[in-house]
Amino acid sequence: MIMQSTLKIRPSLCDPLIVEDPAHNLHRPFRGLTLAAATPAIRVGDIAANEKAIVSLIAEAVGSGVDVLLFSDMALTGSTCGDLLRQDALLSACPESLGRIARATAASSIRVLLSVPLRSDRGLMKVTAVMARGAVEGVIPARWLSPHGQCCRDTLRTSTLPFPVMDRSPAIPALAIQLAPVDPANIGGFNGHEEYPDISPVDPQGSAWPVLEVAADARHEWTGDYRRLRSALIRGSLCRHSLFLYAGAGEGESASEGVFAGHRLILCDGRILAESPAFSTGLTTAVIQPEDIGHILSSSSTVWDFSGSEALHLKEKSVEENRRFPFLMKKELDAVTFYRETMEILGRGLAARLAAIGARPVLGLSGGLDSSLALLICMEAARINGFSHREILAVSMPGPGTSRQSRSLTRQLGEATHVGFREISIEDAVSRHLCAIGHNGTAHDVTFENAQARERTQILMDLANLGHGLVVGTGDLSELALGWCTYNGDQMSMYAVNSSIPKTAVRYLVGTAAERLEEGKADMGLSPRDAAEAASALRRILSRPVSPELLPPHEDDSLRQITEDVIGPYELIDFFLWHMVFGHKKPSAVYDLAAEVFGGIYRPPLIAQWLRGFILRFFRSQFKRSAAPEGVAAFPWRLTPQSAWRMPGDARPDLWLDELSRHTENY
């Protein structure tokens, strides 16, 4: 959800520079233009608290001599209000609050741009309020808002609003302001398969003077995403010789699906004048000097072409590695950067949820990859919120299918990280439960397996109630796609931290964590000895096959149940997930790609077999995804039902299976 707007400055080529005042037909000396982007710390839906934060930042900006101040998207209400945006109590409070906010501009020449939801005679829309001289001078319509608070694609027409509707190029003293909505798919819809296209400034009058492009944003922070956005904005500013002012939503927005980093960026002809650190709030300012404007004007005829350098950059990367593990972004990020960005996003999401409800994290620790990553995320949340690892309740719940090695690894990891570790055996509880429902306890069927998963979930939920905790879900994206989880067992939690992380990325993150612990570079507050113990446990976990361990191990403690023997290798599962689900490709095209990339590793008939199994499991397991809990996303590739993935639970897979069968009938 990005709003783009433009403020046109028209200086003279002579010194001193001047700007036009179209309202008064005057020319004034240009002293330089001070720009600011603001991200207030907000409370979703709390107009009074947000108004206070906004007014405070306006006062700070006035004190700094700011001329143009842009606020992050929907800062008055919060951009994540959803259907609350249609509540009368909230909508009626917005115009009144805008009037009070505008009065904070009375004693200066500042112009404030603030996007808000307003009700018109035709429905609910998002507008940008332009405030100056102590009043709301008008609003510029941007988008109709859908029933869930998202921006619709249809542009607005004339409607009745509580403030005057301004033209696209309203006259404002010293500056002419021009706003235009940017299609969310243009720059706010990264899906992993397309790069950000450039933003084209709206300039119907064809002015050759420098343009100030303004973007108020409310995008989730995703691993690698801001790097792409930042590069696109810099490239666009340089290509168009423009100024650019960007303000992103930040602290206080809902962490139900992700986190917001509050990025603020000010550019001049592709050059960064000011940039805020990630996950910060406040004001970021920069002064556009007269010589900056002169430089822009003198180079306005230069056109830059980046295609050659980008192609060279891509050639330097390992093409096969990128194709085999598309989720890992290896052509863009090294392992450490991927780890740092992902863990901070996941940790901040969990930290925000824990702080919002005043709870401690509770998780089941199994000795597997997913729960190990969830533990690391809990430790990151502890670092961010400043609480002790002892507040993390990590519970080992060995049952009939648990191997001795898993039990040992779980204890080693729990003790090395100094979390609040407990071991609660579920063997007797499961035996009694099976007996009570008439199961003989010896048939190793789905009831035998699922009873263990549901018993563990019951224990975690009750422990959370007992100790004012929040059950942290450990299931990953690949398992969610396949339904490789027990409904109302490990499928359920109070907040899921791994739900946007595919299994190949889980392994990648845990491996990087082990390496950083070994090198003494992990910021986890552990002594060198404990870090080495934790790293050793993670290395052993990485070396073992993936298993739910719901069937008793062999006498030598080797695992009887190997997940990838049943569903196929996770590197293939994630490849299918990337190309068929998120890439929208036909099964035949996915098969051909997989045969090309993995042909030297797996035989074509096996690839076809595992792809058929993937399709069947994906369709049959939608009911599990429809009931998935909220959780932070580090990537845009999600299958959670809140807003990312919706499909009927009784949809049929026949079309996809038939298309694949026709294509592979000779194998």
Q: Where are the domains of the chain?
A: 2-312, 323-663
Q: How far apart are CA 136 and CA 134, in angstroms?
A: 7
**Percentage of the chain surpassing pLDDT 90?**
68
The amino acid present at 543, given as its one-letter code, is S
**Sheet with 123-132, side-by-side order of all strands:** 135-144, 123-132, 111-120, 68-71, 33-39, 282-288
pLDDT in tens, 521-552: 988 999 999 999 999 999 999 999 999 999 99
What pLDDT is recorded for position 242?
A: 80
* Cis ω for the linkage preceding 40 (within 30 of 0): no
Does pLDDT of 150 surpass 80?
Answer: no
The yes-or-no answer to whether 2-312 and 323-663 have a common fold is: no
Mean pLDDT score of the chain? 85
Environment class of residue 652 by beta-carbon count within 10 Å: exposed (0-12), middle (13-18) or buried (19+)?
exposed
Tokens representing 20 are 């036009």
pLDDT > 70: percent of the chain: 82
Number of other residues whose CB lies within 10 A of the CB of residue 207? 15
Q: How far is CA 381 from the centre of its chain?
A: 16
- Residue range 379-393, pLDDT digits in tens: 999 999 999 999 999
Instruction: Give the DSSP letter string of 80-142.
Output: T-GGGGG-HHHHHHHHHHHHHHHGGGTTS--EEEEEEEEEETTEEEEEEEEEETTEEEEEEEE
31-35, 58-62, 274-278, 583-587: segment of lowest average pLDDT: 31-35
Distance set, CA 183 to CA 109, 220, 307, 404 (Å):
31, 17, 24, 55
Which of 648, 503, 640 is closest to 220 using CA atoms? 640
| pLDDT greater than 50 at residue 187 | no
pLDDT tens-digit profile of 66-83? 999 999 999 999 999 988
What is the Cα–Cα distance from 459 to 437, expressed in whole angstroms? 19
The arithmetic mean of pLDDT across residues 313-321, rounded, is: 52
What CATH class is the domain 2-312? alpha beta
pLDDT band at 152 (very low <50, low <70, confident <90, very high): very low
What radius of gyration do the chain's Cα atoms show?
Answer: 28
Predicted confidence at residue 176, as pLDDT, reads 46
Mean pLDDT computed over 114-136: 88
Which of 347, 417, 413, 357 has the alpha carbon at shortest distance from 386? 347
Does residue 395 have a pLDDT over 90?
Answer: yes
Query: Which residues, 6+ apart, have CB-to-CB distance to 331 below 8 Å?
Result: 314, 317, 318, 322
Give me the pLDDT at residue 555, please.
Answer: 93
Check pLDDT > 60 for residue 603.
yes
Taking 70 as the threshold, does the pLDDT of residue 331 lie above it?
Answer: yes
Weakest mean pLDDT among 31-40, 159-168, 180-189: 180-189
- Identify the pLDDT of residue 299: 64
Is it the case that residue 195 has pLDDT exceeding 70?
A: no
Q: Under CATH, which architecture does the 323-663 domain have? A: 3-Layer(aba) Sandwich (3.40)
pLDDT at position 593 is 96
